[in-house]
């Protein structure tokens, strides 16, 4: 039986319990994984290891004494066995065992002579592991499965939309099927079909080649959704048998609604608390009407609500008067998901910012969303919007459409670095927006009556941007000393200079930046309490919020006892189908949906116009169908290598055992293993590998196969919890897009 003596190491470095952690850190690192002995006087009172850094880093290691973070030292005689040492560690909550020996022949005193750390015990347990198969370490993209046929667009999508499939269905004219596939992971395709930041297009394989542009994925999604809406279709969710477990969701934005839907479909009783008079969060209160179709949003919200979610609008959760207490919800429900977003605008505290004509952009857009004109906004007036992001652009365009005569967008960043993305800025300029970039707001001027009369700005030196995040480096923000300030006359000022979370109250844990402290799965570390979306991540995109909703729903299901290890949500059936032929893909160029002419964009009409069937099909044919996999009929393939020879992308390797053929594709996906005749008696055996990072689904291999053994197929899982029906007449009025 193995004894402690056999694995013990000599006592290493020591420190005093009153030492500062910062002083002992170099010794800790040098001796790791063996902890340092902690002495108080002559006595050993514990050990301190590198784990102590975690709880100490926030306050600063200078402020932490070793005594505050050390762990007790377990003790065992040198003759003890490993099991006894492990028990001692467990009993004492220790990270090392101090090994003792009797000091002398006639002594009763034990002296510490050596130490055994957790790491040594683990190493001893694992010393004889011979099967290396379970030894798992992932390094780099190749190991992470980037060489298997998961489409690049799908793996870049925060909600893993099955993009190649729904695009393929559009190219086949199966528009309703396409819309159903979209709905499997996306409850808001009408919004994301117009407003998504489309990370999928960023990584579309079609755009990898120089001179090529990605497929217009976002707009194809919009096309399918427009079709289903115009046909009066509806998704009837099959709700799992009731689990009798109650979950509260605080905040009915995209994250909260997605989570509520996922849980409801699984049979949970979900109650949704929303501060506003309508659900939708920023979708219904912060995005101006000319950017989307309100009727379609209402339709999508109705489909979610019709699953039986208990909606309580006009119900705020927080520590304020008349608000529900979060602690009470935690008490009452079995899990609570906080997804309150960042719905409060930030007004910079410059002189004059307390004037009545100064408003934050979130409030301004919220009022407009209730079909009202904000107080003090004057038709024919002059508006200054401070900020350069998407919300600033929306506030600018909304001001113009409400009748402002002159609208300025003023931002810190130079015009080519403005955070606004897409065509919105260009569209706004076409209808009269003026931009001043590279200046910092300093003062809102007021006339003798106290009303806003103008805003002044300080010019800045050239700014620098972080190459990784693309964001502004604070240290580079410096005013040009002595330069005259730039002043613009105005009678209404909108600050689009950031958003703040409205604190949902105790016991939510916060970060130093004022966000909710939670991990990527929404766990706050507090029992029953989950959080996600913008209130955890900071201001982000709609699709990210939907991703949060899905993730947190999984976390809540796991927390409430469901076994999630083998279950991947509500996807059940597997189908194998032939994919459409997209060989003409290279014939067509990328196009965007048309937009209204500038002369017709001075009201709240939707700017982006729908595609025709023809345009949508042409654009979907541009897709390479990266989800298609080769199917080789192994009973027919003769391993001739023709497919390997003709592949223009060098994506195929035909390996014939015993022949010295170059294997150059880098592909690891084996699609065929066959033999022709009897190997060794004139026959051959071999395998075929594909590199799906290279394959463009051009099907030249299929065309040149002399024995016609290649076809292209897709394997996918179908969500059988959804059924497409006609849109029902609702029996009750839902609080969706209420007017104030």
Partner 1 sequence: MTEISLSASIDPHRLAPEPGDPMVSELMRQEVVFCLPSTPADAIAKLMADNDVYELPVLLDRRPVGYVAADDILGRLAAGEIVVAGSDFAVRPPVTEVQARHILRTPALLVDEGQRVQEVVQLMAQQGRTTALVMHEDERPVGMLTPVELAAFAVRLMSGDLHPGGGGEES
- By CB atoms closer than 10 A (0-12, 13-18, 19+), residue 586 is middle
Q: Are 110 and 100 in contact (CB under 8 A)?
A: yes
Instruction: Give the nearer residue to partner 1 in terms of CB position, either 92 or 176.
Output: 92
- State the angle between helix axes of 217-230 and 613-621 in degrees (0 to 180), rounded to the nearest 10: 140
- Cβ atoms of 705 and 698 within 8 Å: the answer is no
What would the two tokens of residue 321 be? Answer: 């008067």
d(CA 532, CA 268): 19
In the complex, least distance from residue 594 CB atom to partner 1, rounded to whole angstroms: 31
Note whether 513 binds partner 1 by CB under 8 A. Answer: yes
Contacts of 580 (CB under 8 A, 6+ apart): 168, 171, 172, 625
Residue closer to partner 1 (CB basis): 89 or 309: 89
What track of x and - describes contact with partner 1 for positions 453 through 482 (by CB under 8 A)?
------------xx-xx-xxxxx-x-----
Applying CB under 8 A, does 349 fall inside the site for partner 1? yes
Cα–Cα dist 413/421, whole Å: 13
Q: How far is the CB of 699 from partner 1 (least distance, A)?
A: 27
Q: Which stretch binds partner 1 (CB under 8 A): 1-9, 107-115, 261-269, 587-595?
A: 1-9
For partner 1, the binding residue among 308, 314, 351, 683 (CB under 8 A) is 351
The smaller minimum CB distance to partner 1, of residues 134 and 448, is found at 134
What are the beta bridge partners of residue 492?
383
Nearest distance, CB of residue 178 and partner 1, angstroms:
22
User: Which of 521, 524, 528, 527 minimizes the C-alpha distance to 508?
Assistant: 524
Q: Of 688-727, which residues contact partner 1 (CB under 8 A)?
A: none
Of 414 and 538, the one with the shorter C-beta distance to partner 1 is 538
Which residue in the set 9, 53, 435, 488 belongs to the binding site for partner 1 (CB under 8 A)? 53
d(CA 71, CA 94): 6
Task: Give bridge partners of residue 37 from the DSSP assignment.
Answer: 14, 47
Tell me the CB-side half-sphere exposure of residue 651, using CA atoms within 13 A.
23
Q: Does 669 bind partner 1 (CB under 8 A)?
A: no
Residue 83's CB is within 10 A of a number of other CB atoms, namely 11
517, 640, 642, 718: which one binds partner 1 (CB under 8 A): 517
Q: Which stretch binds partner 1 (CB under 8 A): 53-61, 253-261, 298-306, 648-656?
A: 53-61
523 near partner 1, rule: CB under 8 A: yes
Pull the structure tokens for residue 496: 């689009």
Cβ 581 to partner 1 shortest distance, Å: 28
Site string for partner 1, 366-395 (x = CB under 8 A): ---------------------x-x------
Binding segment toward partner 1, per CB under 8 A, in 79-87, 225-233, 242-250, 607-615: 79-87
List binders of partner 1 among 228-287 (CB under 8 A): none
Q: Which is nearer to partner 1, 43 or 568 (CB)?
A: 568
Cα separations in angstroms, 224 against 167, 177, 591, 604, 610: 9, 9, 17, 24, 10
Distance in Å, CB of 638 to partner 1, minimum: 34
Whether residue 432 contacts residue 410, with contact meaning beta carbons closer than 8 Å, is answered with: no
Return d(Cα 467, Cα 454) in angstroms, integer.
35
Structure tokens at 215: 């497929």
> Exactly one of 251, 318, 498, 667 binds partner 1 (CB under 8 A); which one?
498
C-beta of 395 vs 515, nearer to partner 1: 515
27 makes contact with partner 1 (CB under 8 A) = no
217 binds partner 1 (CB under 8 A): no
Instruction: State yes or no: residue 68 binds partner 1 (CB under 8 A).
Output: no
Please tell me whether residue 578 binds partner 1 under the rule CB under 8 A.
no
Which residues, numbered 590-649, are part of the site for partner 1 (CB under 8 A)?
Answer: none
According to the binding rule CB under 8 A, does residue 539 interact with partner 1? Answer: yes
Binding span for partner 1 by CB under 8 A among 83-91, 276-284, 329-337, 650-658: 83-91
Distance of alpha carbon 424 from alpha carbon 431, whole angstroms: 11
Instruction: Work out how close the CB of 610 gets to partner 1 at its nearest, in angstroms, rounded to a whole number.
Output: 30
556, 529 in Cβ contact below 8 A? no
CB-based contact 263:247 (threshold 8 Å): yes
**Nearest CA to 446 among 383, 358, 384?**
358
Between 97 and 301, CB nearer to partner 1: 97
To partner 1, the closest distance from the beta carbon of 392 in angstroms equals 10
Assess contact for 707 and 623: CB atoms under 8 A: no
Report residue 270 as tokens: 């979900």
> Can residue 505 be called a binding residue for partner 1 (CB under 8 A)?
no
User: Does 673 sit near partner 1 (CB under 8 A)?
Assistant: no
Tell me the β-bridge partners of 445: 454
Give the contact letters, 395-434, x = binds to partner 1 (CB under 8 A), - = no: -----------------xx-----x---------------
518 binds partner 1 (CB under 8 A): yes
Query: Out of 13, 32, 327, 486, which residue is the one contacting partner 1 (CB under 8 A)?
Result: 32
600 DSSP 8-state letter? G
If the CB atoms of residues 451 and 519 are measured against partner 1, the closer one turns out to be 519
Instruction: For residues 141 and 149, give the distance between their C-alpha atoms in angstroms, rounded to a whole number.
Output: 14
On the 0-12 / 13-18 / 19+ scale of CB atoms within 10 A, 246 is: middle
Q: What contacts 381, CB < 8 A, 6 or more positions away?
A: 404, 405, 406, 491, 492
Q: Which stretch binds partner 1 (CB under 8 A): 50-58, 263-271, 272-280, 677-685?
A: 50-58
Partnered with residue 239 across adjacent β-strands are none
Distance CA 284, CA 280 (A): 5
Residue number, 108 or 127, with CB nearest to partner 1: 127
CA distances from 76 to 83, 221, 232, 233 (A): 11, 67, 76, 72
Smallest distance from partner 1 to CB 466, Å: 3
Pairing of strands 499-500, 344-345: antiparallel
Q: What number of chain residues touch partner 1 (CB under 8 A)? A: 110
Contact between 30 and partner 1 by CB under 8 A: the answer reads: no
**Closer of 126 and 244 to partner 1 (Cβ):** 126
Q: Does 344 bind partner 1 (CB under 8 A)?
A: no
Strands 710-718 and 629-632: antiparallel
> Which residue from 34, 86, 228, 260 is in contact with partner 1, where contact means CB under 8 A?
86
118 interacts with partner 1 by CB under 8 A: yes
Residue of 124, 49, 127 whose CA lies nearest to 85: 124
Task: Out of 105, 108, 128, 575, name the contact with partner 1 by CB under 8 A.
Answer: 128
Distance in Å, CB of 145 to partner 1, minimum:
6
Q: What is the CA radius of gyration of the chain?
A: 32
- Using CB under 8 A as the binding rule, the residues of this chain from 134 to 163 that contact partner 1 are 134-140, 144-145, 155-158, 160
- Could you say whether residue 558 binds partner 1 (CB under 8 A)? yes
Question: Residue 635: exposed, middle, or buried by beta-carbon count in 10 A (0-12, 13-18, 19+)?
Answer: exposed
Footprint of partner 1 on 177-216 (CB under 8 A)? 199
Residue closer to partner 1, measured from CB, 549 or 686: 549
Least distance between partner 1 and beta carbon 340 (Å): 16
* 235 close to 183: Cβ distance less than 8 angstroms: yes
Choice from 41, 104, 126, 322 touching partner 1 (CB under 8 A): 126
């Amino acid at each position: 039986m193995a004894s402690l003596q056999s694995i013990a190491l000599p006592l290493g470095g020591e420190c005093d319990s009153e030492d500062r952690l910062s002083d002992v850190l170099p010794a800790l690192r040098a001796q790791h994984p063996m902890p340092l002995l902690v002495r108080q006087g002559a006595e050993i009172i514990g050990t301190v290891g590198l784990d102590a850094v975690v709880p100490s880093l926030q306050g600063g290691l200078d402020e932490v004494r070793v005594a505050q973070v050390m762990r007790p030292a377990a003790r065992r005689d040198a003759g003890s066995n490993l099991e006894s040492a492990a028990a001692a560690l467990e009993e004492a909550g220790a990270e090392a065992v101090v090994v003792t020996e009797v000091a002398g022949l006639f002594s009763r005193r034990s002296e510490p002579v050596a130490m055994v750390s957790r790491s040594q015990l683990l190493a001893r347990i694992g010393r004889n592991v011979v099967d290396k198969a379970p030894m798992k370490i992932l390094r780099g993209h190749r190991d992470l499965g980037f060489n298997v046929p998961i489409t690049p667009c799908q793996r870049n999508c925060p909600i893993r939309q099955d993009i190649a499939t729904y695009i393929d269905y559009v190219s086949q004219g199966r528009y309703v099927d396409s819309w159903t596939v979209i709905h499997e992971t996306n409850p808001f395709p009408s919004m994301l079909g117009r407003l998504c930041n489309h990370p999928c297009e960023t990584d579309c394989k079609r755009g990898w080649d120089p001179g090529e542009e990605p497929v217009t994925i976002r707009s194809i999604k919009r096309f399918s959704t427009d079709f289903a809406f115009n046909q009066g279709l509806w998704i009837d969710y099959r709700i799992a048998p009731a689990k009798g477990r109650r979950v509260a969701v605080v905040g009915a934005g995209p994250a909260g609604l997605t989570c509520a839907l996922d849980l409801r479909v699984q049979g949970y009783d979900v109650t949704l608390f929303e501060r506003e008079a309508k659900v939708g969060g920023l979708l219904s209160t912060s995005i101006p009407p000319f950017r989307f179709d309100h009727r379609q949003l209402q339709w999508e919200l109705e489909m979610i609500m019709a699953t039986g979610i208990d909606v309580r609008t006009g119900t705020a959760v927080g520590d304020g008067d008349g608000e529900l207490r979060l602690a009470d919800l935690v008490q009452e429900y079995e899990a609570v998901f906080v997804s309150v977003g960042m719905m409060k605008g930030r007004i910079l505290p410059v002189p004059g910012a307390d004037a009545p004509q100064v408003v934050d952009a979130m409030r301004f857009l919220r009022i407009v969303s209730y079909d009202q004109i904000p107080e003090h906004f004057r038709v024919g007036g002059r508006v200054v919007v401070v900020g350069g992001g998407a919300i600033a652009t929306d506030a600018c365009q909304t001001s113009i459409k409400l009748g402002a005569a002159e609208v300025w967008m003023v931002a810190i960043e130079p015009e080519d670095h403005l955070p606004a993305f897409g065509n919105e800025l260009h569209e706004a300029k076409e209808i009269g927006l003026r931009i001043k970039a590279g200046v910092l707001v300093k003062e809102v001027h007021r006339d003798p009556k106290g009303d806003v009369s103008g805003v002044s700005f300080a010019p800045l030196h050239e700014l620098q941007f972080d190459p990784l995040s693309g964001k502004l480096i604070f240290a580079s923000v410096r005013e040009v000393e002595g330069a005259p300030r730039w002043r613009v006359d105005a009678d209404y000022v909108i600050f689009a200079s950031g958003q703040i979370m409205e604190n949902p109250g105790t016991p939510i844990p916060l970060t130093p930046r004022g966000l909710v402290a939670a991990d990527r799965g929404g766990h706050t570390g507090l029992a029953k309490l989950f959080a996600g979306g913008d209130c955890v991540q900071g201001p982000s995109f709609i699709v990210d919020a939907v991703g949060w909703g899905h993730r947190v729903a999984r976390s809540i299901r796991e927390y409430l006892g469901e076994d999630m290890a083998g279950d991947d949500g509500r996807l059940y059936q597997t189908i194998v189908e032939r994919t459409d032929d997209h060989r003409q893909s290279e014939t067509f160029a990328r196009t965007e949906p048309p937009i209204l002419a500038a002369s017709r964009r001075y009201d709240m009409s939707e700017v982006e116009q729908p595609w025709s069937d023809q345009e949508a099909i042409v654009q979907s044919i541009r897709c390479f169908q990266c989800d298609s996999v080769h199917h080789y009929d192994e009973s027919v393939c003769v391993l001739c290598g023709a497919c390997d020879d003709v592949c223009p992308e060098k994506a195929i390797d035909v390996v014939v055992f015993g022949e010295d053929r170059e294997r150059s594709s880098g592909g690891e996906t084996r699609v065929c293993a066959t033999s022709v005749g009897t190997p060794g008696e004139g026959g051959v055996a071999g395998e075929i590998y594909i590199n799906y990072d290279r394959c463009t689904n051009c099907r030249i291999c299929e065309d040149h196969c002399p024995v016609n053994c290649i076809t292209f197929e897709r394997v996918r899982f179908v969500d059988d919890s959804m059924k497409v029906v006609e849109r029902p007449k609702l029996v009750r009025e839902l609080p969706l897009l209420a007017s104030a």
